[in-house]
Amino acid sequence: MTYNLRFDKFKKEINGEVWGAVLVTFSQKSKTKVVSTGKRIKRTHYDKYLNKDFKRFIPTTVIDSKSINAEIDYIVANKDPFTKKTIQTVHDGYIAFMTNELRYVANLSTRQIYGYVVQSFVEYLESIDPIDSNKPTDIPLNELNLDLFRGYKAYLDGKLSFGTIKYYLTLHRSFIANAFDQYKTEFILSLKRFKLENNGKKPTVLTDGDIDILRKVERIHPLFNIVQFSMLQLFSNGIRFGDCLLIKFSDFKSDYLEIHQMKTNRVLQVPYSPMLIETVSIILGFDYTPSDDNLQNTLNDLLSDVNDEKIINGRRDFVLNYIHSIKKDRFLFEFVDHVLFGYKKGTNMTAEQHQIYNLHRVNHNNHLTKLRKQLKLSVPTLSSHSMRYAYTRISLENGIPLRTLSQSLGHSSVSITENYIRNNFQLDNYKIIGEMMTMKYKVAIPEKIV
């Protein structure tokens, strides 16, 4: 096995200077492995002070050459990146440990999300003192402390939502616990004591008035397609954003719309309600007109009665016949990026597909924010999850049995639905479940004792 040194340039320049990390590259039987020294340096200093013959930096006070050389010596003497055992035990840096942990995450989508967490912490460390040439891009495990993570949270504030920040810190807590178990080191950092103050904002659910405003948005509105996307979510049992985005014409079965949930890998069968069919017909760009002459003559009167069975069945058959005549593997929404064309439901997304999928979600939420302001809706926020909340509210207010609601939302158990309602709705809404149970079983009234 042979080794060499390499300069790994950072993506962003700092004050016009090119910075990077010093890497040790190992070669064995045409295979190459890289181990970072955790030392960062300017490109000009790397070129000027590196002795290529000895693979060390010449003594100088301009850079911390002694520390860099010591790290290189340690890596060469103690680290063998070609053996699994060494990979698990050699890293004493937190970033190195987190990066190594990602190798063992089976789900590619989850690995991608964890990668964002790692990158955010790297960027935070670099932001502390970007000019200090002695500042490493990593931090030893035994130097982790609560003050560091308080600074990290402050760094994320304004960049990410409260929920996302809480999720990031939860993952860090998991990483730290794993590091402690694997290394058996002396450092102890309990992020359980790291208090995250809630922003105090309960998810505000769309009212019936808000939904009426959205339904009245005209086709000429620049965000009309975004509105119809949301309407499809609402009238398809409040399906999640990703499940709605990836609907294909092949998902329209004879009696139901088949939804393959990305999050749970469960398949939902959503019956064709009149509102679902109407929304799909609008998305496809046409309005159903009855072919029967008698119906045509009284079209205005009949269309005002949404419960007319002949109109309902005729519209559904017309829409489904049109859909079944189209190429099956096409997406319902034409704006889906071509990178997602190769995605097969029930499998993991590639890193590139997941990146494009996240971009779709970000753009969708940005559009919804604009829409909320333009239409002056009553809610303080409008997001890709809002229609799922609205569907749950409407179901609760109309006495839908909890088990039925749980199944329609695609939850794996009723207890998940109970927590979902408890965490996202006010007590007045949650009280409906208790009232429903009371009506079902009745309260036993004892007979009057004479």
Residues of the chain with CATH 1.10.150: 91-200
| CA 47 – CA 34 distance, rounded (Å) | 20
DSSP conformation class of 438: H
Rounded mean pLDDT for each run of 10 residues along the chain, 450 residues in total: 85 80 83 81 90 85 85 78 48 79 70 84 78 64 79 82 81 80 59 55 78 92 93 93 92 91 85 90 75 47 54 82 84 89 80 82 90 91 90 87 87 80 65 62 53
Separation in Å, CA 264 to CA 2, 55, 361, 406, 445: 46, 51, 18, 13, 44
Separation in Å, CA 38 to CA 47, 95, 120, 198, 229: 18, 9, 17, 35, 47
Give the pLDDT confidence score for residue 87 in this predicted structure: 36
Q: Which long-range contacts (CB under 8 A, 24 or more apart) does 374-383 make?
A: 374/223, 375/213, 375/214, 375/217, 377/206, 377/210, 377/213, 377/214, 378/204, 378/206, 378/207, 378/209, 378/210, 379/204, 379/205, 379/206, 379/207, 379/210, 380/201, 380/204, 381/201, 381/203, 381/204, 382/206
| CA 71 – CA 246 distance, rounded (Å) | 49
| CA 312 – CA 178 distance, rounded (Å) | 57
The 10s digit of each residue's pLDDT in 101-146 is 887 776 666 777 888 888 888 888 888 765 555 555 788 877 777 7
| CA 105 – CA 44 distance, rounded (Å) | 38
The CATH code for residues 91-200 is 1.10.150
DSSP string, 378-400: SSS---TTHHHHHHHHHHHHTT-
Give the pLDDT confidence score for residue 140 in this predicted structure: 80
Give the pLDDT confidence score for residue 136 in this predicted structure: 59
SS3 342: helix
SS3 448: coil
**This prediction's pTM:** 0.56
Give the pLDDT confidence score for residue 364 in this predicted structure: 92
SS3 60: coil
Give the pLDDT confidence score for residue 90 in this predicted structure: 39
The 10s digit of each residue's pLDDT in 329-357 is 889 998 898 888 888 887 777 778 877 88
Say which amino acid occupies 21: A
Give the pLDDT confidence score for residue 299 in this predicted structure: 41
Give the pLDDT confidence score for residue 428 in this predicted structure: 57
Angle between helices 386-397 and 414-424 (to 10 degrees): 100
